[in-house]
Structure 1
Amino acid sequence: MTLADTAPVRLHVPARSLVLVAGLPGAGKSTLLGTLAPDPTVVVLDSDAARGRLSARLPERTPYGLYRWLVHLLHRCDAVRVALTGPDTVVVHLPATGHRIRSGVLALARLSGREAHLLWVHAEPSEALDGQHVRGRVVRDAAFSGHAAKAGLVVDALRTGPPPGWVSARVVDRACARRGLALDK
């Protein structure tokens, strides 16, 4: 095994950056983000935090499907609030397989005076489904099929370079995501 096989994914993000970590549900975005070293100049926004805050206030065993919409709303509100008022670097975790979500994050970066960076964690749909089962949270078939249908197109487009407005766009596979993430400032 070489250093390249174990080295974390390095992403150069100067001050005032908004980093979108995107990919299929179950691709390894949360795993990747969980490896970031603590840094007071970086805020990482993962929907699991919003879910935790809400589930702590609900009766035990409340099915996630009943409040999923509220988790997503709270997570997006957190992203806007932190991007507008937060520290130098904001990292947002979203599937973002749809163009509207990526465009919204890009608009938020512009509005908050931040550089926009996109890191796509690529996994084949079968790998992403396995990842969902491991974490114990499986996206409904119809919703996941929609994500999967768009994801391949996004990956193909990103491999040609960053879309207009994005300073950088990078695709990493699931194995790279497991090695971790380091932000270079």
Structure 2
Amino acid sequence: MIRPETAGSPIRTAPTATTTPATGTPPATVLTVTEAGGGPPRVHDLRGVRATGPLTLRWPAGDRVVVSGLPGGGKSTLMARLDDPGGRVLRIDSQDVRDRWEVRLPARLPYAVYRPAVRLGHHRVLWRALRSPLALLVHDCGRGSLVRRRLASGARRTGAGLHLLLLDVPPSLARARQEERGRTVSARAFRRHRRAMARLITAIEAGDLPPGCASVTLLDAQAAAAVTELGFTGE
């Protein structure tokens, strides 16, 4: 649930319903994650929040948003809900790179064989995008901090804000989703992901946000399921 603001901690805020529903339709809840112009870092903890209607998350135009979580946690599913009618957002998902490789390779070839090529392709796309003035929505496994550091550096140069959208789902659920889609990571790799994600979430709960982050939004599986739209203000 939303935690109260405490002295010395990042500011924590709750979403508010801002639209009028049609007859019989629950109101849409819109959370503008942070306003342009800086200010103290904000933690929006939506874990345990049960939305009565659709939930929209928005960030300032031109900012960078990193979507992190366990493999199978729902990152790509959430990113697919991006609403970008003006074409002002670059969506960079490693799953897109993997899909392009899969159609060119034999179906029996294990993903582990070409995983390095997928990662390299994903990072190439990302590094090129850092020069763009457009907003970025970026997939990141969260196991390391390289992507966040590079995005933070690029955001400082352009004056954009950096935000973390973090999916905190049970490892058992993430593992089940991997098996359901037929794309599993090794037990060893999954343990590394779990440890890294646990460290990141513990640090955020203690008020220690990743360097350069203007905000962190925490979602559990139910809150993520309620999100029907990701967007940027002014788009």
Higher helix proportion? 1
- Report the Cα distance in structure 1 between the residues aligned to 2:194 and 2:143, rounded to whole angstroms: 8
Counterpart check, 1:31 vs 2:51: no
The superposition leaves residues 44-70 of structure 1 with CA deviations (integer Å, 9 ceiling, x where unpaired) of 111111112222333443321111111
Change (3 A) 1:104 1:184: closer
Q: Per-residue displacement from partner, 1:137-167 (whole Å, max 9, x unpaired)?
A: 1011101100101211211222326333111
Question: Does 1:47 pair with 2:97?
Answer: no
Q: Secondary structure at the match of 1:5?
A: coil
Would you say 1:16 and 2:77 are equivalent positions?
no
Distance in 2, Cα, partners of 1:163 & 1:94:
14
Say if 1:121 and 1:174, in contact at 8 Å, map to a contact too. yes
**1:183 is matched by which residue type in structure 2?**
G
Correspondence for 1:183:
231
User: For 2:179, which of 106, 130, 133 is the aligned residue?
Assistant: 133
The answer on 1:91 being equivalent to 2:166 is: no
Structure 2 distance, partners of 1:184, 1:125, is 30
When normalised by structure 1's length, the TM-score is 0.87
* Larger RCO (alpha carbons 8 Å, 6+ apart): 1
Deviation at 1:84, TM superposition (A): 1.1
Change over 3 Å in CA distance of 1:69–1:112 after alignment to 2: farther
Partner of 1:56: 103
Partner of residue 5, structure 1: 52
Larger Rg: 2
Match of 1:163 in 2: 210
Does the 8 Å contact 1:29/1:121 carry over to 2? yes
CA deviation digits over 1:37-92, x for unaligned, max 9? 2430111111111112222333443321111111011011111112213x521100
**Distance in structure 2 (CA, Å) of the matches to 1:90 and 1:101:** 12
Instruction: Indicate how the Cα distance of structure 1 residues 173 and 48 shifts in structure 2: closer, same or farther if over 3 A, else same.
Output: same
- The amino acid that maps onto 1:167 is A
For 2:152, give the aligned amino acid: L
Structure 2 Cα separation of the partners of residues 115 and 144 of structure 1: 30
| SS at structure 1 position matched to 2:142 | coil
For structure 1, which segment, 104-113 or 27-36, has the greater mean C-alpha deviation from structure 2 after superposition?
A: 104-113
CA distance in 1 between partners of 2:110 and 2:158 (Å): 35
C-alpha distance in structure 2 between counterparts of 1:9 and 1:146, whole Å: 31
- Change in Cα spacing, 1:60 to 1:24, as seen in structure 2 (3 Å) is closer
Q: Cα offset for 1:113?
A: 4.3
TM-score, length-normalised on structure 2? 0.70
Runs of at least 5 residues in structure 1 that lack an aligned partner in the other structure:
none
